[in-house]
Chain A
Amino acid sequence: MRRALLVCCLIASALAVPTVARSAAAAEERRLLLYDPDANLGDIVEIAAAFSRFLQRTGQGWTFQAVQQRETFESLLRQPGSEFAIVSSAFLRTTGDNALSPLLVPSEKNDVYYHKQLVTSKKVQAKSLSGRNIAVSGAGDEASAETQAILAELTKAGVSHPILLSLPKDIDALMALYFGQADAALVAPHSIEVMQRISPKAVASLEVLYETRRMLRSPLCAVGKAAGAKQRETLVQSLLGMAKDPDGKEVMRRMDFDAWVPFQADMLQ
């Protein structure tokens, strides 16, 4: 009887130790969220896997979670330990000042700004884009700054109901234009340089209809008000060293930037 009791106690204590450990870990859990409703599903899966591996390697207890539903994202953001997120600048604009404030900005070749061009074939006039396909890359959803800017220009030119075709990368948007599956493409100038190497003939027939102003790169790493200073510091330090980690580098490649830089208010001007 006594032996049976001892065995029971041992089993109970064996179960209890991990439970206590799990509770402690849960209490200290720090989660970085990614909210990108328009991301390509395949890309998101790969980004989430690489980001998780990178954060795990930093040893600071951070986990990573990608979310596509806004309601889910906002609910997660209210949970303790989930006050950090990577979101588009367009999303930040819609949440106002209270929810999240920018912490880090992505940069590419030491530039935190970018601009895009609306290109089309030389034969096409802006007006004829009504009801036609405009190829945009994954990040170019309706809410994104560059798409909004171009749609505003098109509206001024009398274009109504253009159809946005979502493609994974700017080069895909250009190729859709080249193969006649889109009537215009909204792309970064660099993708045109790459296209020039693939087919100089294709680029020779292109014309830039509009060019956006320089805009702050997106997505930003942002922080909620409830986040502690220590948490903030550990995440910032981890992300600033992201390019040195192979998985971190892969995430950056997929998200199209090569470094994080601290956000400064004058970057928005």
Chain B
Amino acid sequence: MMRPIPHSVGGLLLLCCLAVAGGCVRQALVVQTHAGPRPNAPVVVVLQSQDAPLFAAAVNGFVKRCDGQVTVITNTRDASSSAVVDAVRALKPQFIFTLGTPAIRLASKAFTDVPVLYAMALNYASMHTDAAPNIMGIAMEPTALSEFAKFRMVAPELHRVAVMYTEGSTDNVVQKAKDELRELDVELLPIAVPPGGDAAKAYKAHSGESDALWLMDDADVMQQFEAVKRISFAQRKPMLASLSDSFARAGALMAVSIDAESIGSQAASIARRVLEGTATVAEIGVQQPIAVRLVVNTKVAGMLGVQIPEDVLPYISEILP
């Protein structure tokens, strides 16, 4: 029979007052301990850069599924690096899970003898290039394949999708996506936009053969969202957006983003496999986030005449009226 996997057990809340400023004691590190499933469960530390809702969801998913005694350390007010490192070291962790870029930066320098898994870190790929052998991660961005699997659930007729990218910046991302999406019989039609160029104008000139426009994670193009949206509405072609739910709220038909709680569950599974010795840090490497949230804007669907199949409604994370 399986061992019971711990749930978030009340926990002991210790407020560690570590920073003193202007004569006032400030709470810089918040330390919360969750009892493990058994007395000798491995000691696991979650180190988060700040107290943020997305991180809280990831911690929730992690604690529910982790097989260890989990202590969550939150650097709420920029405690010094040494104070954070001392707090972690005092617990003698056998596994460290970090949330946020500052947390992994600190952990990768300070802890070279403990497996460290990061998530929710921007620019993880550049960091991972020089990473020490004890560092592994969960990427911040879902793959194009996982995003389009969700888009196709709502719009199975999607086959030819335009995508804009900034020349010399995200070319490789588009190429990778193009290759991946063949698996779903989706043909990407790339539209190059010169750096600082007019994305709406480029889209207007090349949107002809596409069923929809994919607004992929490209900062230069994304910041021209409103102008591109006007063209897409004028041509009655839906926009499918990456990165954030807010694009669906702002007029895209659908938007996908990472599901933080699932990332916590994914991290717990990785922790368990590494701690039990069934996977090595090198084997884990950098994994893709396991699930994406899908938000659908029904008002836009109505305007564009897109029929959402009734039977997929329960599988949509959020339906905007």
Q: CB within 8 Å of B: which residues of A? A: 37-38, 40-43, 46, 68-69, 71, 131, 133, 135, 141-142, 151, 155, 160-172, 175-176, 178-179, 181-182, 190-191, 193-194, 197-199, 201, 246, 250, 253-254, 256
Are A194 and B153 in contact, with the CB atoms below 8 A? yes
In whole angstroms, how far apart are the Cα atoms of A43 and B315 in the complex? Answer: 12
Are A165 and B152 in contact, with the CB atoms below 8 A? no
Q: Which residue of B262, B288, B319 is within 8 Å of A167 (Cβ)?
A: B262
Are B269 and A165 in contact, with the CB atoms below 8 A? yes
Contacts of A133 in B (CB 8 A): 269
Q: Which residue of B5, B8, B145, B291 is within 8 Å of A172 (Cβ)?
A: B291
In whole angstroms, how far apart are the Cα atoms of A162 and B3 in the complex? Answer: 10
CB contact under 8 A between A41 and B291, given known A168-B261, A172-B262:
no
Closest beta carbon of chain B to A130's beta carbon, Å: 9
Closest beta carbon of chain B to A196's beta carbon, Å: 10
Are A37 and B7 in contact, with the CB atoms below 8 A? yes
Contacts of B64 in A (CB 8 A): 37-38, 141, 166
Q: Which residue of A162, A175, A179, A253 is within 8 Å of B313 (Cβ)?
A: A253
CB contact under 8 A between A142 and B4, given known A171-B153, A172-B262:
yes
| CB of B156 within 8 Å of the partner chain | yes
Are B10 and A161 in contact, with the CB atoms below 8 A? no
Are B278 and A71 in contact, with the CB atoms below 8 A? no
Chain B residue total in the interface (Cβ 8 A)? 49
Q: Which residue of B8, B145, B261, B288 is within 8 Å of A68 (Cβ)?
A: B8
| CB of B273 within 8 Å of the partner chain | yes
Contacts of A167 in B (CB 8 A): 259, 262, 265, 290-291
CB contact under 8 A between A155 and B1, given known A133-B269, A166-B262, A197-B153:
yes
Are A199 and B184 in contact, with the CB atoms below 8 A? yes
In whole angstroms, how far apart are the Cα atoms of A160 and B146 in the complex? Answer: 30
Closest beta carbon of chain A to B148's beta carbon, Å: 9
Q: Mark B133-170, 1 if CB is under 8 A from A, else 0.
A: 00000000001011001101100100000000000000
Contacts of B288 in A (CB 8 A): 179, 181
In whole angstroms, how far apart are the Cα atoms of A155 and B1 in the complex? Answer: 6
In whole angstroms, how far apart are the Cα atoms of A43 and B317 in the complex? Answer: 8
Contacts of B317 in A (CB 8 A): 42-43, 168-169
Closest beta carbon of chain B to A71's beta carbon, Å: 7
Are B143 and A179 in contact, with the CB atoms below 8 A? yes
Are B291 and A168 in contact, with the CB atoms below 8 A? yes
| CB of B266 within 8 Å of the partner chain | yes
Are A131 and B153 in contact, with the CB atoms below 8 A? no
Q: Mark B265-291, 1 if CB is under 8 A from A, else 0.
A: 110010011001010000000011011
Closest beta carbon of chain B to A41's beta carbon, Å: 5
Closest beta carbon of chain B to A134's beta carbon, Å: 10
Nearest-neighbor residue (CB-CB) of A175 within chain B: B149
| CB of B130 within 8 Å of the partner chain | no
Closest beta carbon of chain A to B146's beta carbon, Å: 6
Q: A168-B291, A169-B317, A190-B311 are in contact. List 18 more A-B contacts (CB 8 A).
A: A37-B8, A40-B261, A68-B8, A133-B269, A135-B290, A161-B3, A163-B273, A166-B64, A166-B261, A170-B315, A172-B291, A175-B150, A175-B291, A179-B145, A179-B146, A198-B153, A250-B319, A253-B313
Are B10 and A69 in contact, with the CB atoms below 8 A? yes
Contacts of B315 in A (CB 8 A): 169-171, 191, 194
| CB of B65 within 8 Å of the partner chain | yes
In whole angstroms, how far apart are the Cα atoms of A170 and B315 in the complex? Answer: 8
21 contacts between A and B (CB under 8 A): A41-B57, A42-B293, A43-B317, A69-B10, A151-B1, A162-B2, A165-B262, A165-B269, A166-B261, A172-B291, A175-B150, A176-B291, A179-B143, A181-B288, A194-B312, A197-B153, A198-B153, A198-B156, A199-B149, A199-B183, A254-B314
Are B262 and A256 in contact, with the CB atoms below 8 A? no
Are A168 and B321 in contact, with the CB atoms below 8 A? no
Closest beta carbon of chain B to A66's beta carbon, Å: 13
Are A198 and B149 in contact, with the CB atoms below 8 A? yes
Among all A-B residue pairs, the 10 with the closest Cβ atoms = A166-B265, A172-B291, A171-B315, A198-B152, A41-B57, A197-B156, A256-B314, A163-B269, A131-B278, A169-B315
Contacts of A246 in B (CB 8 A): 321
In whole angstroms, how far apart are the Cα atoms of A43 and B7 in the complex? Answer: 18
Q: Which of A162, A164, A201, A250 has the most CB of B within 10 A?
A: A164
Q: Mark B285-321, 1 if CB is under 8 A from A, else 0.
A: 0011011010000000000000000011111011101
Closest beta carbon of chain A to B29's beta carbon, Å: 23
Nearest-neighbor residue (CB-CB) of A147 within chain B: B2
Contacts of A155 in B (CB 8 A): 1-2
Contacts of A253 in B (CB 8 A): 313-314, 319
* Residues of chain B in range 233-252 having any CB-CB distance to chain A below 8 Å: none
| CB of B68 within 8 Å of the partner chain | no
Are A131 and B65 in contact, with the CB atoms below 8 A? no
In whole angstroms, how far apart are the Cα atoms of A191 and B150 in the complex? Answer: 12
Closest beta carbon of chain B to A204's beta carbon, Å: 13
Closest beta carbon of chain B to A126's beta carbon, Å: 15
| CB of B36 within 8 Å of the partner chain | no
Are B261 and A41 in contact, with the CB atoms below 8 A? yes
In whole angstroms, how far apart are the Cα atoms of A84 and B312 in the complex? Answer: 31
CB contact under 8 A between A181 and B266, given known A151-B2, A163-B272, A165-B290:
yes
In whole angstroms, how far apart are the Cα atoms of A170 and B13 in the complex? Answer: 35
